Amino acid sequence: MIPYSFSEVASNSESSTQEHEYKAIWGIGWWTPTLIIVSYLSAVLIAVGHLLFFNFLDGKIAEGPGLVFEQSYMTTISNILAASFEITIQTSLGIAFVQYLWHVLRKVALPVSTIETLFCLRSSPQLVFSGTGLRNAPMLTFIAIVIFATYIAKAFPTGAITVVTSKQSLITEMSVPTYNGSFVGNGSAVDATKFTFDTFITDGDFLESGYMMPQQTTQAFLKRLANSVVISGAPMTMPSLCGSNCSYTTVFEGPYLKCNRSLSTVSSSLNSTVVTTVGGLDPVIYNGTWSLPNATYTATTLSVMAGSQDRISYVAEQQVLSCASYRVDYTFKNIYENGVQNFSMSKSNLQPLTDFTTEPGVNVTGFWDLDTEDFGTTAAEWNSTSLRFYADVNHMNLIRIIGMTLAGQYSVFGLKVLGALNTTIPGYGGLWTTDAGWLDTTLGTGTTTVGPINGTLIANSQLNNGIPQKTISFNITEEALNSMLMNLTLSAITAYNYWQATANVTTSSTVNLYSFSKPLNLILPYFLSLLVSLPLIILGLWALHSNGVSAIDGGFVQLVTTSMGSAALEREAAKACLGGNENIWESLAKLKIRFGELIETGDQPGFYKSMKRAGFGTVDETRPLAKGAEYGMNETSEEPAVRFF
């Protein structure tokens, strides 16, 4: 509503009975255009604010620890913003609608029923599609359509943001298990002995010099651990210290086998008597040897290339793999997903271990207690050389235990020929079949037994390609051996739990986050509403300027002051003086009127001679308003004239 105030109007006489001039004022004032513009700009700011609000919430926690905004509050605020946008844009469009409506009413004479339709367009959506508005005032009807569209537009923005489940990562510094072959505890000989895989020789000759010499003996626990790793083909599961979903990376120095491989082709002819009765002459298809002090492992294997149908003759590939002991830097990436461990490793900086043939020991001052002639209990004087030697002792023991687990021989019963003789081999006469293998079985006579010799676990390891079959063959490679060695090292980390390292641990947790996943749900309704409304609002401002006076939106004063003065209109209106659709006569509905300057007619002679009068009237009763002309009336009264505005 326009704010009103009161002021006195000047009169032409100072007597008690005065003649007052009641002049209507031309001018659009400041309130109406300001309200149109400010309402539109407010809608723009609300739309931008809604966008910024959702951008702020995007990626923020929606539930649980770290919550920024309750979901219920977010929904309430979003609905308030959408409703505020609707109110402000409709306010601006509504005022523009009224100004343009009165512009239309000044320009063309329309039936009262049509004018009624135009006045009711904004409140009755069905009238938009009646055709009356489109035929007589298409732009006015379009403004009404846009106003109704904003009711729909406000429903979309709240759906632009959703709550999604996501994994959130947090990086913290933690102590994690690792392998450190040079770890000597508090530095004393007692601790150094505790944290090694070996034992040290106690000799009185070593006391003065502090000489430290490993015995190169095997710990029973490490032996059992190696057996488990070789058979299972996997390391012990490392319990997670950081939760069910986390990861970290550590770098440590560990043992490595560097191998040289040579291949040759061999053949043999075994007579049936040898095969069936002399078990000691059964083919040895694997021979693994382990040598000290330099931890060298050599494996010789026979793989069948072709065999004869009588299972006597065969051609085989002989591989000799000779491996030396090295150390390497491992980058260990440990990942837990839902409590299940996965890991990957890469290596770098390959270096040979200490030559224990030329350096069987190293001097460590303070290693021995001269009084007790035993291991010292206080920190010894370790240096880079002695720590290097100590670490290599541990590396060598891990390599040695794998070599010892695999060392031995494996013999088989003979050939198992599966295919037809259809192949020739250059240098070998006759026909052969490549569909043949070593038969892994026992005769059952008590005289001939085949299989592992000297306790080797080679047949139970992943190096045995024939585990699901009755034939057997071994595929021993540098990669496979180092996989075993790596599995043993990782198992030692878990089983011994001696070593710790500080690492950046990435912990993942499932959280509910706000996601501005459908920005078009917000941007398009707001943008289109503002874009389409802008020219319509400009049209309303133009109509306001063209009219020369602002029209009150939906006010009774606007109607009562503009509908007086027409004899024809008053006569027809009197027939329906109670109002309501039921009382509207056809003659009133079809009466064509417009808003203009009322002119003298036969019904009211001399009525407008004193001052021009504006109002609704028929075409015969009105002419176009003259902008700037004086409109109103004169009246003689004893009361002072007071303007209410």
Mean pLDDT over residues 307-326, rounded?
84
pLDDT at 600 over 80: no
**pLDDT at residue 176 in the model:** 94
Q: Taking Cα atoms as reference points, which of 320, 281, 273, 326 lies closest to residue 301?
A: 320
Where is pLDDT greater, at 155 or 117?
A: 155
**pLDDT at residue 485 in the model:** 96
pLDDT at 75 over 70: yes
Half-sphere exposure of 84 (CA within 13 A, CB side): 16
Mean pLDDT over residues 571-597, rounded?
80
**pLDDT at residue 51 in the model:** 96
Beta-carbon contacts of 384 under 8 Å, excluding residues fewer than 6 positions away, are none
425-429, long-range: CB < 8 A, 24+ apart: 425/305, 425/306, 425/315, 428/267, 428/306, 428/315
**pLDDT at residue 511 in the model:** 86
Lowest mean pLDDT among 42-46, 80-84, 201-205, 404-408: 201-205
**pLDDT at residue 16 in the model:** 55
Mean pLDDT computed over every residue of the chain? 83
Beta-carbon contacts of 45 under 8 Å, excluding residues fewer than 6 positions away, are none
Amino acid at 614: A
Mean pLDDT over residues 102-125, rounded?
85
pLDDT in tens, 131-143: 887 888 889 889 9
Half-sphere exposure of 348 (CA within 13 A, CB side): 5
pLDDT in tens, 261-301: 999 888 776 443 333 322 334 688 899 998 877 778 999 99
pLDDT in tens, 601-627: 555 544 555 678 788 888 888 888 888
Residue 556, judged by CB atoms within 10 A of its CB (0-12, 13-18, 19+), counts as: exposed
Tokens representing residue 58 in the block: 């995007």
The C-alpha atoms of residue 66 and residue 166 are separated, in whole angstroms, by: 14
Q: Taking Cα atoms as reference points, which of 227, 260, 263 lies closest to residue 326?
A: 260
Mean pLDDT over residues 542-554, rounded?
85
Highest averaged pLDDT of the listed ranges 17-26, 58-67, 374-383: 374-383
pLDDT in tens, 419-455: 777 777 776 777 788 888 888 765 444 445 567 878 8
pLDDT in tens, 182-218: 999 999 999 999 999 988 887 766 776 778 888 877 7
DSSP 8-state symbol, 620:
T
Where is pLDDT greater, at 191 or 467?
A: 191
pLDDT in tens, 10-41: 555 454 566 667 777 788 888 889 999 999 99
